[in-house]
Amino acid sequence: MSEPPAKRSKPSSGASTPAENPYLAHMNDKNGSSSSNGVKNPLAGLVPRKVTADQAKAIMDADVNPFKGLAPFSAGYRKILEVRKNLPVYDKMDEFLKVFSKNQITVMEGQTGSGKTTQIPQFVCYADMPHLRGKMVACTQPRRVAAMSVAKRVADEMDARQAGVLQPTAGQDRAVQLGKQIGYSIRFEDMTEPGTTFLKYMTDGMLLREAMNDPLLERYSTIILDEAHERTLATDILMGLLKDIAKQRPDLKIIVMSATLDVDKFANYFGDNQPGGKAPIVKVSGRTFPVETFFTQEPEQDYVEAAIRTVLFIHQAEDEGDVLLFLTGEEEIEDACRKIRAEGEELANKGMAGPLLVVPLYASLPPHQQQRIFDPAPPPSRDGLPGRKVVVSTNIAETSLTIDGIVYVVDPGFCKQKVYNPRIRVESLLVTPISKASANQRAGRAGRTRPGKCFRLYTEKDFVKELEDATHPEILRSNLANTVLELLKLGIKDLVHFDYMDAPAPETIMRALELLHYLAALDDEGNLTPLGEIMADIPLDPQLAKMLIVSPEFGCSNEMLSLAAMLSVPNVFLRPANQRKEADMAKAQFTHPDGDHLTLLNVYHAYKANGGDKNWCWNNYLNARSLVQADNVRTQLKRNMEKFDLELVSTAFEDKNYWNNIRQALTCGFFMQVAHKEGERGSYSTIKDNQVVRLHLSCGLDHTPEWVLYNEFVLTTANFIRTVTEVRPEWLLEYAPQYFDPESFPEKSEARRALERVIAKKSGKVRSSDKKDKKKRKERA
């Protein structure tokens, strides 16, 4: 019996049917050269991967949509098409398609605003025709926001209507829909339809997770790694994987797209079997106008206040044009938006400036609110003063998204970066100075539509001497526990010699292996255990995954699902600067005396009991958006639990062990994040790493227990631990005996003495019960 045609390495002799041969796929009845009403299919007669630029342009200019039932293109499509034709990347279509058809791997340098993220995947669809072979084109993004908003934009460009937002008019019911032909996939949200979606935007982490169950990524005909210059952890691992997959799948096309000038590094990395040892490069310039850059004379003491002041100065003194302000995170952005709105209204009321639209942009913002960044600026005031839009964003807007109309950029020179110290096993999100490359990307945002200005809130001397040339790849500054687990699930056991573009420190890999071994995800030989296999499939950090998997044994898996979801979303507690007392009183209603994890559970239970009411959230100073997200995450995790037949159970709330069971399950996952009360009053020492820490101000404990488990180590002016719950030393010895073996602690350690006391007390009880048994036996005799 012969193998299926798709699996053969050599073509079989004899005639091929359209169903068997992808190059005859256009002859299938359902995708034939004409529809039942005689309309000619623009794809008729084209050979996949041999399509020329003229043929692709003919598809774009056709009367009907070949990607969805030959429905007529709408007037809106024609309008968007004219905009697409003006993008710099459109002029490079011919060069790109020639390189794409001749090479397995293509490297593309496309400056910010060139249109590469939206257009190249569409060019690939015209040339590759994945839908005719039941395949997909994947385009990865480092950020969820970009994956969602770009997918929506491309669905619009391919004559789409977002499902549930705009109702198609008569005759247009078959237009491409977001979530149908064009979709996106991010953690805890999949907007695709199997068998229908042929172009999928996704976060790099999601493609990496797919590779665990589909090692050769067989469902994809072309994979595009976009924003590769950002060098996220998942992108770096994907590059190593794809390099290997390409050798096993000659039919797979790979495109690596970068916005900066380090494309030679990518070309050399992927150039193993290429002439000259380099992958071919296609370069596209951005649509840039000159940008005038201004520096401050002296360093700013408070960059947020300085940024707000600069935005308001621009609004009053500069010509019309929108403003893009870069800040580091959600809290900072929302605070700045409030202040800019308030002061902007005041200026407008005094007739000193026109109306102001202030829009935030950060990763956890819901999709419909993210789209507001594309809203037009408000119309001029009655006095004729121009309206202006101000977008306040994280570094998402640096390269991932292009916002038209930006003329002024305000750059304080900071961003939030993950930093991991393997020696003390602490991963922190710190506000750090940006690199020169990032500063130049930010400035370039001002020159998209006309000559612009960039206001840098730092000195020229600092720019030259203090800023690094480029941002360090994330793989060099991250905890690799999750990554190591994924690589092992992919069957890659030699982690040291894996083909990294930049290899991480061996100590970081050793720390990751140590954590996974203690969690029982790895055996003594370094192989995945059955528990480790399940942990790798659950899209959570290893400790959270372990906590979830063992929770049925403690009769609290329903509660742990809720807790895992609450720990996976942004902070649910709101604490406005002018209402801190009221917010703290509201939080006190939910506070559990045994710890913050249990407080989070109380919040979730109360939220559900109140039917997810947004007004209730507002009145109780809770972030409704985070709670909605937690609910969605819980639903996804529940599916994971059901997939592995993990029982969904709860202990009766009246049972005295209800809260203890939850704390014990928590201990099974987070026993390596425990601190012991030592030293001066209120101080703790982290186990094994001996870092002196204090409980964070947000901690709800009204006492200082001897042993605590924490979710997060916070580096600010001092070392703090946040989201803290009291644990008992007996649990530590029972569920992690190897880790809490007193012999592994320094001799004079207070934690060691405390553990020895617990063991002695326990064995003393055992000895006394033995004596009683012996006495009873003698009496019977």
Segment 77-135, tens digit of pLDDT: 999 999 899 889 999 999 999 999 999 999 999 887 788 999 999 999 999 999 888 99
Q: Report how far residue 767's alpha carbon sits from residue 554's, in angstroms, rounded to the nearest whole number.
A: 28
- Sorting pLDDT into bands at 50, 70 and 90, what band is 259? confident
pLDDT of 48 higher than 50 = yes
pLDDT of residue 30: 42
**pLDDT of 536 higher than 90:** yes
Note whether 197 and 182 are within 8 A (CB).
yes
pLDDT of 160 reads: 60
CA 538/CA 565 separation, integer angstroms: 12
Which pLDDT value is given to residue 773? 52
Instruction: Pinpoint the alpha helices (H) of 62-165.
Output: 75-85, 93-102, 116-128, 144-157
pTM for the full predicted model: 0.83
**What pLDDT does residue 780 have?**
53
Q: Is the pLDDT of residue 708 over 90?
A: yes
Q: Cα–Cα distance between 418 and 55 in angstroms, integer? A: 46
Q: Is the pLDDT of residue 403 over 80?
A: yes
Residue 419 pLDDT: 87
Residue ranges of domains in the chain:
53-161+177-284, 291-476, 671-763
pLDDT greater than 70 at residue 688: yes
Domains 53-161+177-284 and 291-476 in one fold: yes
pLDDT band at 176 (very low <50, low <70, confident <90, very high): low
Is it the case that residue 363 has pLDDT exceeding 70?
Answer: yes
Residue 143 reports pLDDT greater than 70: yes
Token couple for 372:
């507001």
Mean pLDDT of 540-569: 96
Top-level class of domain 291-476? alpha beta
| 628-670 confidence digits (pLDDT tens) | 999 999 999 999 999 999 999 999 999 999 999 999 999 999 9
Percent of the chain with pLDDT over 90: 64
Task: Round to whole Å and give the CA distance between 96 and 677.
Answer: 63
Instruction: Tell me which DSSP letter residue 17 carries.
Output: -
Band (776; pLDDT cuts 50, 70, 90): low
Q: Are 101 and 94 in contact (CB under 8 A)?
A: no
* Token representation of residue 759: 């063991």
User: 347-358 pLDDT, tens per residue?
Assistant: 999 989 999 999
pLDDT value of position 578 = 82
3-state SS string over 223-253?
A: EEECCHHHCCHHHHHHHHHHHHHHHHCCCCE
Tens of pLDDT, residue by residue over 191-244, are 999 988 999 999 999 999 999 889 999 999 999 999 998 899 999 999 999 999
Position 717 pLDDT exceeds 90:
no
Confidence at residue 777, expressed as pLDDT on a 0 to 100 scale: 52
Q: How high does pLDDT run on average in the chain?
A: 87
Predicted confidence at residue 470, as pLDDT, reads: 86
Q: Supply the pLDDT for residue 590.
A: 96
CATH H superfamily, domain 53-161+177-284: P-loop containing nucleotide triphosphate hydrolases (3.40.50.300)
Q: Which of 156-165, 221-230, 610-619 has the lowest mean pLDDT?
A: 156-165
Residue type, 191: M
* Inter-helix orientation angle 303-317/330-349, to 10°: 30
